[in-house]
A and B are shown apart, each in its own frame.
Chain A
Amino acid sequence: MPSRAEPRAAAEWGLRVVVFALLAWAFWRAIRPVAVAAVGQANAAVVRPALERWITAPPGAVHVTMDRGAVLPAYARHWLVALRREGTAVTWNATTALGPTAIDAEPVADPRGATRVRVAAPGGATVVVRDVLGPLDSLRVAAGGQGVTVTIPASVRGIDGVADGTSARGAVTEALTLRRLLVLGRAGWEAKFLVRSLEEEGWTVDLRLAVTPKTRVIQGHIAAIDTARYAAVIAVDSSVAPAVPHIAAYVRSGGGLVVVGSAARVFRGLDSGTPGPRLRDSGGLYPVTALVPDAVVLERQGNVVAVAARRVERGRVVQVGYDDSWRWRMTGGDSAVARHRAWWTALVASVAYAPSTERAPPPDADAAPLAHLIDALGPPAPTMRAGRAPPDPTRSPWVFGALLAALLLEWGSRRLRGRR
């Protein structure tokens, strides 16, 4: 009759066999020759047919090589992620350095439509911004810089940023609603020409200019000053004093305010600083002095602050020291009219209240392709050679767990020999 120890010894032998078998299997997995699919080019013409083959007959591993700085398109990335989830090891590398290009686009409050585009790119890179119709602008990133910002005078939906051959596709996902502007002040050249420039740019302007204390020239239908009607109020001088409480409430509820020259004196609590004595040599400038702590300087004239801005609750206020900007338009060079118009348009856009509505991004948007690639497939790996399979991260824990369990059982069985 066999002793009770014999089945235990047999079980221990069995466990040892399991451990060796698992180790042998893992070793074989590590050295076995595998079918590695490699794609020489990353452009869609080459990747797409390969992906179509791989989806129907998944190989053990695939490796994608990108050249000429082109990052894998988003659809191919999604396919490769799906392949990996089905058990295919996926790796990639690039023959040339891929630029860390990313793009962000947002609409600007401009009636003619404008888009602010920021492209992240390495210092020294040449950035080309383009839409479906072709290039729109080209800039070089400053040495040590991290990208460029460009404002395109057009509404675009999808936009590409290409930095040294690496492309990113952004999308404007907001649509702005622009309301009217209201200009208040005394009759004078400054009010006349700033209104003219803004109207030429496409803004609809309501106007109330005092000719005498009781007589005003009015354009448009002057309604209550609120965000339902006005995108911004422009106060040209201190004659707006009686309307200051209404304007302050409007700003606090989200409205935009441009305060020109000495008008800041009547906007206590909304101003970025105190208007100093007027400097005639600087083309008529009330320097913004004694800046409040949260004010941001937007423009300097020599040593003095010419334009500053701040937030006031939900609204924004920009304080302009110049009160004779009309002279730029009348007496400047050949581009003076366009520059005066652009300067005022940008100023108003920086404060204008413009409620936005969301738009779905186009399906091919890929704002940061390299970041998305690394996020989805991991960092680049060396080129795969035939017969060398990459480690299989999805199966290794199971093999390790089985090995550990068998060894523990075998060890425990030996330790417990002789106990009843």
Chain B
Amino acid sequence: MSEFVFATAKYESGDWDAAPLVPANLIDSVARYTAIDVAPRGVVVPLTSREMFEYPLLYVTGHLPLRFTDAERRNVQKYLDRGGMMFVDDHNHDTHGVFHQTATEELTRTAGRLVDLPNTHELYQCFFAFPDGPPNTTHELNGWGDNLVHDHLQAVLRGNRIEVLYSSKDYSSEWGYHPDSKRFNEVDNTRFGVNIIVYALTR
């Protein structure tokens, strides 16, 4: 049976590789906390490639405008129709920033309307329990970016299933450190990343 491979999406318009340490950190967490068979290295897949269909969970991040080309948009629509899931994170943590402005517009155009995801959604319970919804990041609590603590994530839903999970909380900064540094954390802040992966693998 196929192992889980963490895949980062490469798109043409912006800095898709803005969080290079996140994949290794999340792979480490999946291996650390679960029995899921996970590949030790992640992959980068262009959104124009057929290869992206080999990876039913894609991680998308950046600081710069997110505008899909026509080919990327077609591929993403097909990918989502077939059951793929995208996790898109605003690395600026700024709802006035260019990534948020363009990404939400582009995702709405490509996948459908983004709605606030209820904090009771099974995403927050499927492995670790997050009874208050999405965990806050240090960037939010320190007042960086838009100086807001976002109470909800957003999502494009099909039925009750998440097709696109959109975060303004900048988990890309929160999780962007070497896995060995986890030992300095009182509580591992990548645990919510494990929930996203478990959710993608089971729903």
Contacts and interface: CB of A to CB of B under 8 A. Distances in A.
Interface stretch (A212-220, A358-366, A372-380): A212-220
Interface string A235-248: 01100000000000
Given A186-B35, A213-B35, A191 B202 contact: yes
Contact of A237 (B1, B83, B127, B200): B1
B54 interface: yes
B77 to A, nearest CB: 13
Contacts of B201: 187-189, 192, 209
A399 interface: no
Contacts of A187: 34, 36, 198, 201-202
B126 interface: yes
A193 interface: yes
A326 B201 CA distance: 12
Contacts, number: 80
Interface residues of B, number: 24
B82 interface: yes
Contacts of A207: 202
A188 B36 contact: yes
Interface in B131-176: none
A411 B110 CA distance: 107
Interface in A333-365: 336-337
A336 B84 CA distance: 14
Contacts of B34: 187, 211-212, 215
Interface of B: 1-2, 4, 33-37, 50, 53-54, 56, 79, 81-84, 126-127, 198, 200-203
30 contacts: A186-B1, A186-B36, A186-B37, A187-B36, A188-B1, A189-B2, A189-B56, A189-B201, A190-B2, A192-B56, A192-B200, A192-B201, A193-B56, A209-B201, A209-B202, A210-B35, A211-B34, A211-B202, A217-B198, A236-B1, A261-B1, A262-B1, A324-B2, A329-B82, A329-B83, A330-B54, A330-B82, A330-B83, A336-B82, A337-B81
